[in-house]
């Protein structure tokens, strides 16, 4: 076959056929189309050569009133040309179409599947947090006078700092803190010279059991007999007295060091190529042992002096100040300190935490609603796709003969 097509004669023949087909198509496209409104042509019974156009007839619409039960016809044209268009009665639809129509009606009447309820969240920009000023308060830096109830030593910092408020505290003619309120704290850094430092959180406990936490610093309070104050009044730390268990510990250390030096110098030595070397004698052995014992005793006394031999003791009844570093809000006091969560937190800090938590919950809720909306839209699209597929499958499942019968009208037995 391919060899036949490669011959020049066959190729020329195919070219002529293609050109002829193209020319015929071009010629047919240039022919004028028949007029739609051309008058009917009357043909002869024999050959139809002497056909003449039929006389034009004026189409006049004729109105007619019929009753509901009469057969309705339409008459148009003159008496010569009258056509009666009988309205053919509707034929019953085949059972397959009835089933498909009933199924579609059922689908229309059926309610769509329930979708999750969407929560509409306002997406507008929320206003910034504005703290509310407390009604009953005292500013930072007030001095609360208190006195110790138990003795505190710097050697045992686990001892709690327990005191009582000795004077009422007023601000703006309002009682902020009554006298007799308990104060609880803890020593922070130990001793500094003759003082014990107490900084950090202070817990005030009212008579009814309410607790309030605030940050502050303990200051020295030293009042003289002539109702004046000492020069160290208000300095940091609670002032006490230095206690020494062994008053001669320092002298003992000095003596031990001196004995060590004397014993080392009294050793008998001789000159060698390596320098002075102690002789191997009984006296040198005794002096060497004594020097080592004096050195060990000196180190032991030094260690004890730094720990237990010297410490600061603040006796019960010592007065001191509590300098507040936060705003004092007695309205924040609650049973067991639950409102402040046992921390020195102000009211506006709690409000800000609540505000931030609410914003986070709103953001999470809006995100959940967006996800639910997307899932609902996806489910709706899937439902629509499923309905369309069911309709297409119903149309495909119909028999071909029924669809052809419904598509082409039945020809009438009588010719007009």
pLDDT digits (tens, 9 = 90+) for 64-120: 555 555 555 444 444 444 444 444 445 555 545 444 555 555 555 556 656 555 544
Q: What is the pLDDT of residue 45?
A: 44
Q: What is the pLDDT of residue 150?
A: 93
Q: How far apart are CA 76 and CA 64, in angstroms?
A: 11
pLDDT digits (tens, 9 = 90+) for 290-318: 888 888 878 877 776 666 667 889 999 99
**pLDDT at 108 (0 to 100):** 53
Walk along the chain (416 residues) and give the pLDDT tens digit of each residue: 666 767 777 778 888 888 888 888 877 776 665 554 555 555 454 444 444 555 544 444 455 555 555 555 444 444 444 444 444 445 555 545 444 555 555 555 556 656 555 544 454 456 787 888 888 999 999 999 999 999 998 877 788 999 999 999 999 999 999 999 999 999 887 778 889 999 999 999 999 999 999 999 999 999 888 888 899 899 999 999 988 776 667 777 788 888 888 887 777 777 777 777 777 888 878 888 888 888 887 887 777 666 666 788 999 999 999 999 999 999 999 999 999 988 898 888 888 888 888 888 888 888 888 999 999 999 999 999 888 888 888 888 876 555 444 444 444 444 43
Q: Tell me, what's the pLDDT at 83?
A: 45
Q: Among 309, 183, 186, 315, which Cα is nearest to 240's?
A: 315
Q: Is 395 exposed, middle or buried (0-12, 13-18, 19+ CB in 10 A)?
A: exposed
143-242+311-348 topology per CATH: Lipocalin (2.40.128)
pLDDT at 280: 80
Helix, strand, coil in percent for the chain, rounding step 5: 35, 20, 45
Radius of gyration, alpha carbons of the chain = 58
Are 119 and 364 in contact by the 8 Å Cβ rule? The answer is no
pTM of the predicted model as reported, rounded to 2 decimal places:
0.51
Residues whose CB is less than 8 angstroms from the CB of residue 11 and which lie 6 or more positions away in sequence, other chains included: 5
> In this predicted structure, what is the pLDDT of residue 11?
76
- Enter the tokens of residue 133: 């000023």
Is residue 11 within 8 Å of 5, Cβ to Cβ?
yes
With beta carbons less than 8 A apart as the criterion, state whether 154 and 133 touch.
no
């Amino acid at each position: 076959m391919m060899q036949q097509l490669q011959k020049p004669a066959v190729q020329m023949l195919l070219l002529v056929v293609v050109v002829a087909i193209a020319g015929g198509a071009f010629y047919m496209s240039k022919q004028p189309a028949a007029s739609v409104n051309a008058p009917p042509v009357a043909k002869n019974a024999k050959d139809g050569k002497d056909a003449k156009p039929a006389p034009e007839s004026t189409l006049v619409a004729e109105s007619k009133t019929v009753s509901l039960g009469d057969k309705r016809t339409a008459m148009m044209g003159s008496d010569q040309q009258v056509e009666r268009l009988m309205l053919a009665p509707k034929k019953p639809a085949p059972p397959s179409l009835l089933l498909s129509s009933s199924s579609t009606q059922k689908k229309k009447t059926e309610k769509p599947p329930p979708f999750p309820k969407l929560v509409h969240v306002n997406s507008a920009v929320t206003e910034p947090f504005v703290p509310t000023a407390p009604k009953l308060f005292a500013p930072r830096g007030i001095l609360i006078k208190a006195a110790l109830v138990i003795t505190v030593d710097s050697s045992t910092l686990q001892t709690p700092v327990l005191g009582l408020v000795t004077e009422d505290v007023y601000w703006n003619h309002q009682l902020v803190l009554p006298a007799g309120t308990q104060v609880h704290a803890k020593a922070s850094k130990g001793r500094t010279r003759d003082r014990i430092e107490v900084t950090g959180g202070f817990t005030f406990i009212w008579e009814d059991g309410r607790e309030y936490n605030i940050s502050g610093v303990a200051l020295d309070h030293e009042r003289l007999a002539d109702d004046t104050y000492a020069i160290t009044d208000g300095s940091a730390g609670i002032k006490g007295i230095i206690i020494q268990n062994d008053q001669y510990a320092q002298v003992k250390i000095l003596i031990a060091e001196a004995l060590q030096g004397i014993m080392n110098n009294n050793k008998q030595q001789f000159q060698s190529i390596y320098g002075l070397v102690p002789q191997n004698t009984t006296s040198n052995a005794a002096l060497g042992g004594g020097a080592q014992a004096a050195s060990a005793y000196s180190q032991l006394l030094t260690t004890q002096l730094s720990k237990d031999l010297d410490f600061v003791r603040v006796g019960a009844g010592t007065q001191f100040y509590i300098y507040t570093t936060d705003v004092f809000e007695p309205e924040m006091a609650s049973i067991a300190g639950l409102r402040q969560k046992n921390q020195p937190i102000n009211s506006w800090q709690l409000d800000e935490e609540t505000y931030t938590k609410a914003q986070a919950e709103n953001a999470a809720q809006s995100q959940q609603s967006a996800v639910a909306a997307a899932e609902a839209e996806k489910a709706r699209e899937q439902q629509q796709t499923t309905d369309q597929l069911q309709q297409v499958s119903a149309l495909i499942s119909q028999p071909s003969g029924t669809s052809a019968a419904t598509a082409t009208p039945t020809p009438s037995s009588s010719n007009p």
